[in-house]
Amino acid sequence: MKRALVLLIAIPLIWALFNVLSGGAVLTAGNMANLFKYLAVTGILATGMTLVIGAGYIDLSVGSLLGFLGAFNAWLLQAGWPLWTSLLIGMALSLLLGCLTGFLVANLRVPAFIATLSGLMAYMGLKQYLANPVIPIRDKTLLLLGQGQIHGFPLCVLALLLAAAACHFVATRTRQGRHVFALGSNREAARYAGIPIRSVTLFVFAVMGLMSFLAGLTATSQLMAGAADIGDYQELYAIAACVLGGASLSGGTGNVWMSLLGAVLMASILNGMEQMGISSTVQKVILGLILTAAVAVDQAVGARGKTLR
């Protein structure tokens, strides 16, 4: 609750600060609409990443995976496949790839860091192969996801909220969700309690695959094309959003809505720096420092909690 209050105070303060520093460019209707529109991709990933981190894992592959799945869907459409058929194929592929990662981690006991790092490299190569040159998207229905609005409200933000609501429901209202955080909190205790660790692991990575697919559709429809650089660094932004929202990298804690607040905070800082004309290279340095500080605080708080116990 305290962290939520801090974020809810910090976000408008950041808007006000960057609005002054940018000469009034931040707090305009057009810029704020764009901020939340382009927040959607990171936010969708962060909803799934909350479950992955909550279970005590990490997924470094999601940025490349969303780019590959988006490019693959664009390629299917260009090849003449109907939209809904291509979406079903893409969804099935995302579940398959998510379950493959879960299988490597749960059954073959490959560390999640290594399994997903391997995925990052593989999916990056696949998306660069498929989307070089770019694959334009001309399907008007799909383009509505990234470009459309309902009474001025971006559809991609609505998709983000629906994804967050679904993941929050799973995390807080289902047995599987309770198992996820029990596993991240104490793996041995979860094993003795009879929690099916393999199926829980498969579950969180399958959900992450689905969220990557939705994020890929959103990103490609926003840019109106599948491109080789779509998804770059998004895995880091999603992890940072979760950490800023209070998810512990040691597992056992996390809240989907808090992760979204973390995504808003990070997007606000990025947007403010862009409005000030700060170069992308400097932006990455600053974001890296912010993530380091957030993890350091998380570790300090965790260590203090263990000492108090």
Per-residue model confidence as pLDDT tens digits over 94-122 = 999 999 999 999 999 999 999 999 999 99
How far is CA 268 from each of CA 26, 47, 77, 222, 261, rounded to the nearest angstrom?
Answer: 9, 18, 34, 19, 10
Q: What is the pLDDT of residue 202?
A: 97
pLDDT value at residue 302: 57
Q: How far is CA 288 from the centre of its chain?
A: 17
Q: Report the distance separating Cα 104 and Cα 202, nearest Å.
A: 9
At 255 the three-state DSSP class reads: coil
Is the entire prediction scored with pTM above 0.85? yes
**Structural domains of the chain in order of their starting residue, each with its CATH number:** 38-288 (1.10.3470)
The length of the chain, given as a count of residues: 309
The Cα–Cα gap between 97 and 125 comes to 15
What is the Cα–Cα distance from 269 to 39, expressed in whole angstroms? 12
pLDDT tens per residue across span 52-90 = 999 999 999 999 999 999 999 999 999 999 999 999 999
pLDDT value for 307: 34
CA-based nearest residue to 94, from 119, 57, 112, 117:
119
Is 171:181 a contact under the CB 8 Å cutoff? yes
* Residues 6 or more apart whose Cβ sits within 8 Å of residue 63: 45, 120, 231, 232, 233, 234, 235, 236, 238
How far is Cα 49 from Cα 208, in angstroms, rounded to an integer?
7
Q: Show the low-confidence residues of the chain (pLDDT under 70).
A: 1, 298-299, 301-309
Rounded to 10°, the helix 62-78/197-223 angle is 60
Which pLDDT score, from 0 to 100, does residue 268 have? 93
Would you give the distance in Å from CA 69 to the centre of its chain?
Answer: 14
Helix (H, G, I), strand (E, B) or coil at 149: strand
Give every CB contact of residue 116 below 8 A, 6+ residues apart in sequence: 58, 59, 60, 61, 62, 101
